[in-house]
Amino acid sequence: MFSSILLQLLLTVSYTASSPIQRRALSQNDIIGLQVASYLENLELSLYTDGCEHITDAQWLAAGSPSTFQNDVCTIAEQQQNQTGYISSTLEDNGISAPQACNYAFSYDSPMTFVRLANQITSIGLGYYLGSLNDFSPALQTVAASLGSVEARHDAIVRNGMGASPFPTNLDVPLSSVWAYNLAQKYITSCPQQLPIDLLPPLAFNGMSDRTLNFGWSPNANNFSTPAGVTGQDLYLAIVHANVSDPAYQKVQTTGQGRGTVELPEGLNGVVYAALTASSGDLTYHELTTTGTLAGPAQLVLS
Ligand SMILES: *[C@@H]1O[C@H](CO)[C@@H](O)[C@H](O)[C@H]1NC(C)=O
Ligand SMILES: *[C@@H]1O[C@H](CO)[C@@H](O)[C@H](O)[C@H]1NC(C)=O
Ligand SMILES: *[C@@H]1O[C@H](CO)[C@@H](O)[C@H](O)[C@H]1NC(C)=O
């Protein structure tokens, strides 16, 4: 005990002496915030590296993408490498090990399926920086915002490559760390370590006809008061869109055990997120995305 205090003191002294400016004390929130950032950046790094290595210039041109596209994807991969390195060294300079990369499953088999996947995954990283900004101490808020604005530029490039508007909405959707971490799980097959964040029961979208959205969840995976959606308990799909202070709560029409539909409200664009909840709308956004989620969230790209 005594020697560890002494050691800490010595380390503090030597750090102070050698690098008085770079050394900053990270709060507990900074540490978990940077660990989630690193976790998400590793996912993006792996995706863009994969795309850079496996899709040729000729394939991009044949798919009708801009002539710079292969180079753009590889430059994004390099920026992801730099961002990941920056976050890791910030953690390591403070004696905290950065999360190692996980094993990922990326289901794409063409340039177009790659850019759609890249839009989905990059939107998660972007939403995370927005949603977690206030959790960081002031010195790191600018860093988080800078990382997030670069994510937004990457996303605009891939959206342009998929023939969609690079700027589909006035506002981007912020994501809590719980939501961002759970959304990332869809692409992860195994991981050397988990972060200390709850894993929520998954929610899966099974297609949409007109504005009727079909989805499913595992009714036994959580603590519904009755077998979910069969009798008794009303369930809602909370749809979080660009106006985050105004989520749409749509009552679920159950179509079977762990299956249901809702009508999507009109006027939604870009990327939205939805979660199954027992609340009809009395939760704050923070409550919904932390304790109020029964299953999900799931991401839906509407335009
Ligand atoms: C990555 O960082 C290195 C070293 O700072 C820099 O030379 C390089 O230009 C950066 N790459 C990109 C794509 O920004
Ligand atoms: C479900 O309920 C059990 C026992 O009441 C509790 O230990 C567990 O943490 C709950 N799980 C969730 C996801 O709320
Ligand atoms: C968001 O929704 C709230 C509540 O309906 C509304 O008061 C506000 O004007 C909306 N904000 C924007 C930017 O549309």
Residue 228's pLDDT band (boundaries 50, 70, 90)?
very low
What's the predicted TM-score (pTM) here?
0.87
Three-class DSSP labels, 223-241: CCCCCCCCCCCCCEEEEEC
Residue 12's pLDDT band (boundaries 50, 70, 90)?
very low
* Mean pLDDT on 227-256: 83
12 Cα: distance to centroid of ligand 3 (angstroms)? 48
224 Cα: distance to centroid of ligand 2 (angstroms)? 10
For the stretch 197-221, pLDDT in tens is 989 889 999 999 999 999 998 877 6
* β-bridge pairing 103-104 and 188-190: antiparallel
Domains, the chain, with CATH or none: 24-190 (1.20.1260.10), 203-301 (2.60.40)
Query: Quick one: pLDDT at residue 79?
Result: 98
Burial call 172-182: b when 16+ CB within 10 Å, e when fewer: bbbbbbbbbbb
pLDDT over threshold 70, residue 8:
no
User: Is residue 90 within 8 Å of residue 33, measured between CB atoms?
Assistant: no
The pLDDT > 90 percentage for the chain reads 76
For the stretch 15-59, pLDDT in tens is 433 443 345 689 999 999 999 999 999 999 999 999 999 999 999
Mutate which of 44, 68, 80, 82 for ligand 1? The one with the most ligand atoms within 8 Å of its CB, which is 82
More confident residue, 227 or 234: 234
For the stretch 161-175, pLDDT in tens is 999 999 999 999 999
